[in-house]
Structure 1
Amino acid sequence: MNIHVEPVTIAMATPFRISRGSRTECHVVRVTIEQSGVSAQGECTPYPRYGESVESVITTISQAAHELKGLFNKGETNLVSLREKLQAILPAGAARNAIDCAMWNLQAKLRGKQHSQDLFELPTSIVTAMTVSINTPEAMANQTRNYIEQGAKLLKVKLDGEQVIERVRAVREAAGDAMIVLDANEAWQDLDLEATFAALAPLNITMIEQPLPSNNDSKLKDIPHPIPLCADESCHTRQQLHKLVGKYEMVNIKLDKTGGLTEALLLAEEAKRLKFALMSGCMLGTSLAMRAALPIAVQSKVVDLDGPVLLGQDVEPALVYREGEIIL
């Protein structure tokens, strides 16, 4: 078994802005695993919000690769068993995600399939959100109209703590009957949340994602919210779920948070047992990363896997995005 890791920088198609700032490039890390003449890849996106950088993730992956190769050389050649051991070797996060997804991909290829998604039953298409970046209300409405003209059925609107109602109203007027979810990225701590939620309620919003910082979201239990709330930064693995009961109605499962598909599948199972609805989300990344998340997407009420659409280039074979859907 050989494990190789490399950084990749990809230009954004247009500048991408969320509450934490604007980006013109996407920095990902790719892992390639070779076994028995078969090569497979996994991809992760290090996230500074979680204390990750490209350099730290590469270092972590290199250390784990050494340990995994040692286990393989000692006779531990079963990929499922190695993947289980990986969960103990590394904590949840981007580094484990890249290795875990490469292992899933390798497992599929050793079984004569092309992608890890082929190990699961999937539909022929999945509706995915198209992301509206933070801008003036007019610019956000224009971007929304462009998406609607392309057939978008679901919009994810990025917001900070400014002009929230004005921006959302502009998007709703441009969106027609399309479903809208809002993503505050923890930026609403200075808002009157009860008043904000009440003002948004008539705008037919499906869900609001992470309005408060993860270390200060306990007050959500005491604030009426007619629109369901979704935990993103507050939910990484199964261990956080019990703390989310009563604060959120949905959890956003991202492989870069769970540390790969292995934990994501377990998180989805436990979240459904606790009556949380599921959202399948992503960091910025290519089709390689989005494919790995499809087994979660197929279980989710809201899917946000449009990462490649926001990039200037993609991997081959690329996922096909058409009229607001991922065509499988």
Structure 2
Amino acid sequence: MPRTLEARHDRFALHTPFRIARGAKTAANVVTVTIAQDGHVGRGEGVPYPRYGESVASALDEIAHVRDAIEGGADREELLGLLQPGAGRNAIDCALWDLEAKRSGRAVATMIDGPDLTSMASALTVVIDTPAEMARAAALIATAPLIKVKVDHADPAAQLRAVRAVAHNATMIVDPNESWDRTLLEAMQPLLVELRVALLEQPVPASVDAWLADFSPAVPICADESVHTADDLDRVAARYQCVNVKLDKAGGLTAALALAHGARARGLGVMTGCMVSSSLSIAPALHVAMLSDFVDLDGPLWLAEDRVGGVTDVGGILSPPPPGFWGTP
């Protein structure tokens, strides 16, 4: 039977504003793709990101552009040549993985010769606010094993001290979202060590990060905005010690796995991240997370209401969705 592809815009309200250095959001706007064939339906989700010049409209246009090819039988490898990396390609790629799992009766973990999904520590995020408010937010998750702290350039020292004062034992990731410059990054090095920060994520703008090749950081620096696909790795490996793999940046699970394996081959650490999204974005990312040193997949935890049957999190331990949600027969 022929395939049919449908794509739509879904909006998920957040229960709390998600504030980072470049702004705040109160809803997750996603693109949902369904591909049906032989009575089976595969689903995928992409989150268009304005930082990369994307919108819901542009992602839907991209998907419409390749609809005939996908409905005609184009597979995941062919998709890599049909669309550029981004949210639109991610949604289609993940829907194709899910469809194959449903039609073949084989889980995605089996298809990629990867480990079965298990519960894992995943970062809980403290977003930007006053130091006092950030301390209050951190106190609510202080027993979590891994906390990610969003900061900006205004007073990151006070923000970080406030969080560490209440979250004494958590492993800490710090994410300035490109808001620092060289002077601030250099000045923050002793404090990052003092506060036992395990990873510093994309402190400076991706467009001006070349000088990091000659910088010796006190704690490892992870590329986020600076790395999208495996094609970026040779450049990034000279500047960073770790890469943040996100399916929306890579343009799907297919390309994300290639990025993760390529990073490992170059001796880089691997982090799996996400946009603020529903569990439909997180389920495929879990397969990359199983290969990662750090996992940051709390996007659905910010939603007022997630998709039914999604991931669950208890105290910073993230558990996969039940069979049938995504990527399993």
TM-score normalised over the length of structure 2:
0.93
Matching residue of 1:83? 76
Is 1:321 equivalent to 2:318 in the alignment?
no
State the SS of the aligned residue for 1:206.
strand
Matching residue of 2:100? 107
* Sequence identity (%): 41
Matching residue of 1:97? 90
CA distance in 2 between counterparts of 1:205 and 1:95 reads: 34
Matching residue of 1:24? 26
Q: Following TM superposition, by how much is the alpha carbon of 1:53 offset from its aligned partner in structure 2, in angstroms?
A: 0.2
Task: Check whether the contact 2:117–2:287 (CA below 8 A) recurs between aligned residues.
Answer: no
Matching residue of 1:42? 44
Q: CA RMSD in A?
A: 1.4
Task: Check whether the contact 1:5–1:61 (CA below 8 A) recurs between aligned residues.
Answer: yes
CA distance in 1 between counterparts of 2:93 and 2:171 reads: 33
Is 1:307 equivalent to 2:299 in the alignment?
yes
Task: Check whether the contact 1:117–1:291 (CA below 8 A) recurs between aligned residues.
Answer: no
Matching residue of 2:272? 280
Matching residue of 2:199? 207
CA distance in 1 between counterparts of 2:117 and 2:5 reads: 32
Matching residue of 1:146? 140
Instruction: Tell me which of 130, 134, 158 is aligned to 1:136.
Output: 130
Matching residue of 2:35? 33
Instruction: Tell me which of 230, 234, 240 is aligned to 2:222.
Output: 230
Matching residue of 1:79? none
CA distance in 2 between counterparts of 1:109 and 1:19 reads: 40
Matching residue of 2:5? 3
Is 1:126 equivalent to 2:120 in the alignment?
yes
CA distance in 2 between counterparts of 1:84 and 1:199 reads: 45
Which runs of 5 or more structure 1 residues have no equivalent in the other structure?
77-81
CA distance in 2 between counterparts of 1:83 and 1:255 reads: 14
- The number of residue pairs the alignment matches comes to 316
What amino acid is the match of 1:95? G
Task: Check whether the contact 1:117–1:292 (CA below 8 A) recurs between aligned residues.
Answer: no
CA distance in 2 between counterparts of 1:111 and 1:154 reads: 37
Q: Following TM superposition, by how much is the alpha carbon of 1:23 offset from its aligned partner in structure 2, in angstroms?
A: 0.9
Task: Check whether the contact 1:252–1:278 (CA below 8 A) recurs between aligned residues.
Answer: yes
State the SS of the aligned residue for 2:172.
strand
Q: Following TM superposition, by how much is the alpha carbon of 1:301 offset from its aligned partner in structure 2, in angstroms?
A: 0.5
TM-score normalised over the length of structure 1:
0.93
What amino acid is the match of 2:160? V
Deviations 1:232-265 (A, max 9, x none): 0000001111111231100000000000000111
Deviations 1:144-170 (A, max 9, x none): 11012xx41100101111111111111
Q: Following TM superposition, by how much is the alpha carbon of 1:230 offset from its aligned partner in structure 2, in angstroms?
A: 0.1
Task: Check whether the contact 2:150–2:174 (CA below 8 A) recurs between aligned residues.
Answer: yes
What amino acid is the match of 1:50? Y
Task: Check whether the contact 2:101–2:108 (CA below 8 A) recurs between aligned residues.
Answer: yes
CA distance in 1 between counterparts of 2:315 and 2:201 reads: 24
Q: Following TM superposition, by how much is the alpha carbon of 1:221 offset from its aligned partner in structure 2, in angstroms?
A: 2.2
CA distance in 1 between counterparts of 2:77 and 2:55 reads: 25
What amino acid is the match of 2:38? S
Task: Check whether the contact 2:182–2:204 (CA below 8 A) recurs between aligned residues.
Answer: no
Q: Following TM superposition, by how much is the alpha carbon of 1:123 offset from its aligned partner in structure 2, in angstroms?
A: 4.5
CA spacing shift, 1:118–1:130, aligned 2, 3 Å: farther
State the SS of the aligned residue for 1:122.
coil
What amino acid is the match of 1:145? A
Of 104-113 and 230-239, deviating more is 104-113
Matching residue of 1:161? 153
State the SS of the aligned residue for 2:180.
coil
Q: After TM superposition, list the pairs within 5 Å mapping 1:197-276 onto structure 2.
A: 197-276=189-268
Report runs of 4+ in structure 1 exceeding 3 Å deviation.
115-120
State the SS of the aligned residue for 2:66.
helix
Task: Check whether the contact 1:161–1:191 (CA below 8 A) recurs between aligned residues.
Answer: no
CA distance in 2 between counterparts of 1:325 and 1:96 reads: 29
